[in-house]
Amino acid sequence: MSRIFLLFLLLVAGFVHARTVQHQPIELATPSGVLYGSLLLPQDANPVPVALLIAGSGPTDRNGNNPAGRNDSLKRLAEALARRGIASVRYDKRGVAASLAAAPDERMLSVEGYVADAAAWGRELGADPRFSRLVLIGHSEGALIASLAAEQAGADALVVIAGSGRPIDQVLLEQLSTRLPPPLLAFSAALIDELKAGRTHEQIPEPLEVLFRPSVQPYLISLFRQDPAGAFAQVRIPALIVQGRHDIQVGMKDAEALKAAKPDAELLPVDGMNHVLRIVPADVQHQLPSYNNPELPLASVLGQAIGDFILRGETTR
């Protein structure tokens, strides 16, 4: 009987806990359109820390999904943080999903624009009395955006997950080197050099359209002139670097380059974790299905470690 009663109490406690997190839509008005997002707000009598989650490259939405697959990586991370009493805002980037109308033509997009948006979100949250501290959390290309936006946003801490430690053109060329036949690889290398010099190219082979279509080239030009390690080195707030050892897109050498750029940052390697924050074997046969499986659990250490990092800051205020 006592075990049944204990089970009942645990079930009730879990139900009450679930109801203490509010899920609310949130908007940010900007001069060139409205950006839309989701707020997870744990109920607390005192202000709570808030994390601004910044998605990765391409048409990736607030939940970490894109047309190539649904994995809900950022949504799951937000939920894990909420269980630790940490609020979060995740948002559709300008030109993506609900925020499409803010940039209906991708020629309008730039890294500088994404940084300005992240900084504006950060200032909005920093002025909200419900929140005690602001932490920027950037995933993949979002790690670069978060690093560049941290000071303008007034962030108190920074977390970069699966962020490059090298210029993105180098990462892209490395990825293409194992996926393209020699003629297309040579064309890609030459085109990347042209884009780095600020010159666009209209005639793109059909197999490369998805990466280098003319309408996305202005964004790539803005991206290729960035130095992720240099941006991270300029951050003057506590920072945490998180990198999965089974990530097939960004590797431990990138995390180590970020650590070298900012030696006072904490480095958390996660055994078995891949780019979409799941624990899977390193081989491609297991990797690819995880990019389109929202039911696969998030790496359990992720919410715990990031939550600990954020909450440690609360004790030193």
Q: pLDDT per residue over 150-172, tens digit each?
A: 999 999 999 999 999 999 999 99
Strand ranges of the sheet holding 87-91, from the earlier edge strand across to the other edge: 21-30, 33-42, 87-91, 48-54, 131-139, 157-161, 239-244, 266-270
pLDDT tens-place string over residues 246-271: 999 999 999 999 999 999 999 999 99
pLDDT tens-place string over residues 236-248: 999 999 999 999 9
Polymer length in residues for the chain: 317
In which element (H, E) is residue 289 found? helix 284-290
Distance CA 186, CA 247 (A): 26
pLDDT tens-place string over residues 61-79: 999 999 989 999 999 999 9
Q: Would you state the pLDDT for residue 9?
A: 40
Task: Name residue 27's beta-bridge partners.
Answer: 36
In which element (H, E) is residue 108 found? none
Residues of the chain with CATH 3.40.50.1820: 20-167+227-315
* Cβ atoms 309, 273 nearer than 8 A: no
Other beta carbons less than 10 A from residue 274's beta carbon: 25
Q: Would you state the pLDDT for residue 199?
A: 97
Task: Name residue 214's beta-bridge partners.
Answer: none
Distance CA 79, CA 86 (A): 9
pLDDT tens-place string over residues 189-202: 999 999 999 999 99
Other beta carbons less than 10 A from residue 190's beta carbon: 11
**What's the pTM value of the predicted model, to 2 decimals?**
0.92
Residue 222 has pLDDT above 80, yes or no: yes
Residue 40 has pLDDT above 70, yes or no: yes
User: How much is the mean pLDDT over the chain?
Assistant: 93
* Cβ atoms 222, 214 nearer than 8 A: no
Q: Would you state the pLDDT for residue 12?
A: 39
In the three-class reduction of DSSP (H, G, I as helix; E, B as strand; rest coil), residue 154 is classed as coil
Task: Name residue 9's beta-bridge partners.
Answer: none
Which tokens belong to 195? 């884009």
Provide the residue type at 99 as one letter. Answer: S
Residue 278 has pLDDT above 70, yes or no: yes
CATH no. of 20-167+227-315: 3.40.50.1820
